[in-house]
Structure 1
Amino acid sequence: MRSVRPSDRHMGFSATHSIGRLAVYTFQRFWRACSAVMLTLILCYWLYGGVLIFILLLIALGGAFYNYQDMLLYYPEQPESARVFVQTPNTVGLPYQNVYLNTEDGVRINGYFIIQAADRIRNAPTFLYFHGNAGNIGHRLHNAQALYSLCGANVLLLEYRGYGKSEGTPSEAGMRLDAQAALEYLLNRCDIDINQIIIFGRSLGGAVAIDLVSNPIYMSKVFAMIVENTFTSIPLMATQIVSGMERLPMICFRNQFLNVNKIHRVRVPALFLSGLADQLIPPNMMTELFQMCGARLKLLERFETGTHNGTWQCAGYYEAINRFLGHVRHNPSNTSLSDDIV
């Protein structure tokens, strides 16, 4: 594991601080420009009326709404220090490698590869971990620690573009490339069993996982998929939050994450972990994804007290994962489980 000098940390902080200020300045300039245009159009309409001014005003309002959606979905700066400070695995006693990957479109993204001891790394399963829409990979270390110790797994915690120490700006298309780069990285390692790669995703990360595993290029390279408290699609989630959103055409949604249209293409063994006390994403969405999943070997585990971000702390959570992986190992032909819903 590479040691980091204090001077390197200071330089990294300074660079991050400068980039952050530049990003905020650019956004503020853009927002002021949009606001000025809308105010001008409102004034023109009030003074002169006219169909053309009204149409231009609607277009301006629609454009502002379209671009504002990213701020409603992605929270890389929650908490405020999330882009500056990312806790490292050694602080919770985990051996790791700090890795940087280059995506297909040239964005440099960060990750922590938590590895088992030398005598176990080659036989251990490897989790490719996609987190939710807020915070950074440092906030998932205790979950990764349990996967490491209770499931005997290697864990690659991936930081999406625009999060933590990764470059770029979050987007649906960008996250797809981030996930592909991470899987390619694991497939090119010679010290792990590439036949035991498990794609894991929670909340928004579940959508990233489903997109990756449903891709024909990668589905044959994945051992299994595990998703937790994820949704059917962003448009359907919007209708749960705001009445009338179902009337909007699909083109109005900047981010769509259409899991409901992709899940039938998932053929690898799949585990769905559903917290029934989830007050953000309706648990029935997980049930629907499970029922529509194209895998022959699939399992839905429900946790009565599982909240959106706290299901991983429920009793029996890691036992469910180990039980599922045991089913996969003992059913190489991916035959169906006798009891699909638990």
Structure 2
Amino acid sequence: MKKILKIIGWVLLTILVSGIGFSVYKYNTDDMLRAMIHQDESKLSYGPLKEIVSLDGFNFEEYELQVNDSIKIYTYLFKSHTKHKGNIFFIHGSGGNAAYWSQLYKPLLDEGYAVYAADWRGYGKADGTPNYKGVLEDTEAAFNDFMNKTKNDNLKTIVYGMSLGGQLAIKITVDNQNKVDALVLDGAFESAQQIAIDYAPFQFLKNRAIKHPEKFNQLYVGSRDIKEIKDIPKLIIHSVNDVSVPISHGKKLFKNALEPKEFWETKTPHIMTLKNISNQAIKRINNLMDM
């Protein structure tokens, strides 16, 4: 019996040591897990690209924008080659940069919309490191610049936010309801907290995210803030095939939004609406402008 107990003890000790060893290995080699444990938002939420892709073939102007004493960002105003019919303030998602997503602007430009896009701190040529408060400050500064550059054309303004940029698009629209004529969200987050819950690889991280909403900056929460937008047409796009942001996020945003609103369920990959089904997207955006 003693021999059996000794064997069992050694087996349990081996399992324990192996588990600890694997956990240490996982912690030291998995950047995302380490970021989740330490709640490092700069790594959890943002994937900035510094390289600027070629913008040959686009008619655009690049601007340098001083956000505060330490942060300088860069913005781009893409102009249509056809008759100018409206202005779009485009807020990209957590990855890439403003230039990287330029192919998504092309169908909008071809239709006659001007597109203004900005990089957050740490993206493209911009200074600094992205963080929750900082990207809001950058987006607000860019929106003010956008309005100054388009104020004399008397055309309608659309705020278009995709993925993580959707929460910022909602916040900008809430704070500027007398300046925004329509809101488009594509694959947008319900909230940073819900994304953390969805992506938590271990139950203790999931439980921590559920029990501590205060750990997630509350300056802007899409599903909460969208309730405050009144009388502005909203097009909420989400794909059933979206593996990055579950469609439940888009449905929650739509449920909380006030009329007028439209939910468009697609079958594209995450935020690929303007690339994969551009004709349908343009038609719905045009309809939105006519509401």
TM-score, normalised with respect to structure 2? 0.78
On the 8 A contact 1:66/1:254 being kept in 2, the answer is no
Distance of 1:179 and 1:322 partners within structure 2:
27
1:95 maps onto 2:59 in alignment: yes
The 1:325–1:297 alpha-carbon spacing in structure 2 relative to 1, beyond 3 Å, is farther
Q: Secondary structure at the match of 1:137?
A: coil
Question: What residue identity is the alignment partner of 2:238?
Answer: S
Distance of 1:133 and 1:278 partners within structure 2:
15
Alignment of 1:204-223 (within 5 A): 204-215=164-175, 218-223=176-181
Distance of 1:63 and 1:159 partners within structure 2:
23
Alignment of 1:36-75 (within 5 A): 65-66=37-38, 68-75=40-47
Distance of 2:218 and 2:94 partners within structure 1:
13
**Where does structure 2 lack aligned partners over 5 or more consecutive residues?**
1-33
The number of residue pairs the alignment matches comes to: 252
The 1:312–1:96 alpha-carbon spacing in structure 2 relative to 1, beyond 3 Å, is same
Question: What residue identity is the alignment partner of 1:279?
Answer: V
Which has the larger share of strand? 2
Alignment of 1:165-176 (within 5 A): 165-176=125-136
Which residue in the other structure is 1:86 paired with? 52
Question: What CA deviation, in whole Å up to 9, does each residue of 1:274-329 have, x standing for no partner?
Answer: 111001211021011011112x221111112x1114333333x4433433433432
Which residue in the other structure is 1:11 paired with? none
1:188 maps onto 2:138 in alignment: no
Which residue in the other structure is 2:211 paired with? 248
Distance of 2:220 and 2:172 partners within structure 1:
12
Alignment of 1:276-291 (within 5 A): 276-291=240-255
Which residue in the other structure is 1:147 paired with? 108
On the 8 A contact 2:274/2:281 being kept in 1, the answer is no
Distance of 1:64 and 1:237 partners within structure 2:
12
Aligned counterpart for 2:189 among listed residues 210, 223, 231:
231
On the 8 A contact 2:35/2:43 being kept in 1, the answer is no
TM-score, normalised with respect to structure 1? 0.67
Between stretches 264-273 and 239-248, larger displacement belongs to: 239-248
By how many angstroms is 1:132 displaced? 0.9
The 1:148–1:183 alpha-carbon spacing in structure 2 relative to 1, beyond 3 Å, is same
> Larger RCO: Structure 1 or Structure 2 (Cα < 8 Å, ≥ 6 residues apart)?
2
Identity of aligned residues (%): 23
Q: Secondary structure at the match of 2:126?
A: coil
Distance of 1:270 and 1:278 partners within structure 2:
20
Aligned counterpart for 1:264 among listed residues 222, 227, 248:
227
Distance of 1:281 and 1:88 partners within structure 2:
29
RMSD: 2.5
On the 8 A contact 1:66/1:252 being kept in 2, the answer is no
Distance of 2:166 and 2:69 partners within structure 1:
22
**Where does structure 1 lack aligned partners over 5 or more consecutive residues?**
1-61, 77-81, 332-342
Q: Secondary structure at the match of 1:235?
A: helix
Which residue in the other structure is 2:269 paired with? 307
By how many angstroms is 1:139 displaced? 1.5
Which residue in the other structure is 2:87 paired with? 126
Distance of 1:200 and 1:190 partners within structure 2:
16
